[in-house]
Amino acid sequence: MTSTAAAAEEPAAPKRGLRLPSAYTILFILIVIVAALTWIIPAGTYKYNPDGTPIPGTYERVDQNPARIVIDSLLAPVNGTYGIKSPEDGSISVYNSGELFGAIDVALFILVIGGFLGVTMKTGAIQAGIARIVVRLKGRERLMIPILMIVFALGGTTYGMAEESLAFYALVITVMIAAGYDSLTGAAILMLGCGIGTLGSTINPFATGIASGFAGVGIDAGIVGRIVILVVGLAFGIWWVMRYAARVKADPASSMLGADRTAIDAAFRSESAEDGAPAGMTGRQKVSLALFFLAFIVMIVGVVPWSDLGITRIPTKWWWFPEMTASFLAFAILVGFAGRMGEGEFVDAFVNGARDLLGVALIIGIARGVTVIMTNGQITDTVLNAAEQAVSGLGGVAFINLMFLLFIPLSFLIPSSSGLATVAMPIMAPLASFANVPAQLVVTAFQSGSGLVNLVTPTSAVVMGGLAIARVGYGTWLKFVWPLLLILAVVCMVVMSAAVVLS
């Protein structure tokens, strides 16, 4: 995905002070800690069902197999990327302690879909489409709030739109200011639109896809509950922004920007006069945008087990990461043809798009290294056994809400949602079987908790970059959004609780 943010001046020299380490550093430190724990935590194993889930009550201790802390910590990300095959039959499973599902297919999928997004963004189709909506709604800016939030939410729920949204802040905020609102209104449209869409990810390959893969369930599993979270959460988000916008327009002094609003408005009006009106949307861009959405429709058709749903008119393809990767590669080529790109231009756009997501692919490999150490040290099942004892008295509703609340601090600890999914799912998903909760609900709990945190985390380039462009202070954003965060948390918990009861 492409990060875009304009800088009007040279960045200031970094200030000294407390700075959180990157996700890479946090995950590698976690690998070393887990390697040390293999000397302390007793080794043990469960017996497993044919589907790879542990059988409750079958845990037994085995001989200790501690890791070589330095050597195995360095090898762990490599082994996590390739996967470890079972010595008995060569099969690969997600949970069984004698086997380990590799991350290479997930990492390659991430790189290819990054290339696909890079090619699509190169055509300007997404940018032109949103700019056209803004132009056509001029004079009806109140309507622009729900329409744009829905559009950005569609981007969030389908492909995790985040950094790409930074390109639209100046345009949307300028229009909002011209209509009598403030820059906070414009920033909220983008940040909450994309953020709630990602929180309610339905087919987002970077959240739902990765988590589902490591949880051993299809990306379609649990999609109904995620749609409900998306629709209800977005409705509350739209209401929250429109409520604030109406108050600011009726009484400019009520803006949460305070005395800074006058200077901020003047700055955006000045930039708007220099930029001019955005260009219209070409026929090639329309075709490219249609192919972009068709790619995700094809992915849905390919991964959903239609036969299990009693639907026979649509053939069940049983797609997973290899097939999805090939599909997005094919659509990247089609978008390139639709945009009339030359061979060199297409390759550059694809490679640059893949390069933008190289960090995500690396994080997945490093994060999978944690599971490698735990698997080889045979402490994964020991941790599961301790967790089994802890949740044995909990009902399904209490369990899934506990999972949701647990993922909130974990999302602060591991700021990469892809890395968190890779680390947590091999433990959290099988834990659900002890509470008789479907594993796909753990995926929903993960992405809901992570999505909630990503709306406010100060380590996010999207949050801090968007607020910087809008000239909104971080404290002001927290003051504006925290009541909505509580509402969204309640929505997630209610929907997941209902899903448990109905399952």
Position 9 in a domain: no
Position 278 in a domain: yes
Residue with tokens 């696909």: 116
Position 310 in a domain: yes
Interatomic CA distance for residues 230 and 225, integer angstroms: 9
Q: Name beta bridge partners: 61.
A: 44
- Smallest Cα–Cα separation from 109: which of 420, 462, 418? 418
Res 125: pLDDT: 87
Res 240: pLDDT: 97
Dihedral Cα 439, 105, 100, 382, nearest 10 deg: -40
Position 4 in a domain: no
**Is the separation of the CB atoms in 477 and 185 below 8 Å?**
no
Res 140: pLDDT: 78
**pTM of this prediction exceeds 0.85:** no
Burial 50-74 (b: 16+ CB within 10 A, else e): eebbbebeebeeeeeebbebeebbe
Interatomic CA distance for residues 385 and 389, integer angstroms: 6
Find the domain containing 251 and state its range: 23-55+64-502
Overall domain count for the chain: 1
Res 109: pLDDT: 87
Res 273: pLDDT: 47
Position 8 in a domain: no
Res 309: pLDDT: 65
Position 69 in a domain: yes
Each residue's pLDDT, cut to its tens digit, for the chain (503 residues) gives 433 333 333 334 444 444 667 778 888 898 999 999 999 999 988 888 776 677 877 889 988 888 888 988 888 888 877 765 443 433 333 333 334 455 788 888 889 988 998 999 899 888 888 888 777 777 777 888 999 999 999 988 988 887 778 878 888 888 888 888 999 999 999 999 999 999 998 888 888 888 888 888 888 888 999 999 999 999 999 999 999 999 999 998 899 998 888 888 888 776 554 455 555 678 899 999 999 989 988 988 887 777 766 778 888 888 878 898 999 999 999 999 999 999 999 999 999 999 988 888 888 888 888 888 888 888 888 888 887 777 777 888 999 999 999 899 888 877 778 888 888 888 888 888 888 889 899 999 999 999 999 999 887 778 888 898 889 999 999 999 999 999 999 999 999 999 999 98
Res 19: pLDDT: 62
Position 488 in a domain: yes
Interatomic CA distance for residues 202 and 189, integer angstroms: 20
DSSP letter (8 states) at residue 60: E
Position 398 in a domain: yes
Q: Which helix (H) or strand (E) holds 61?
A: strand 60-61
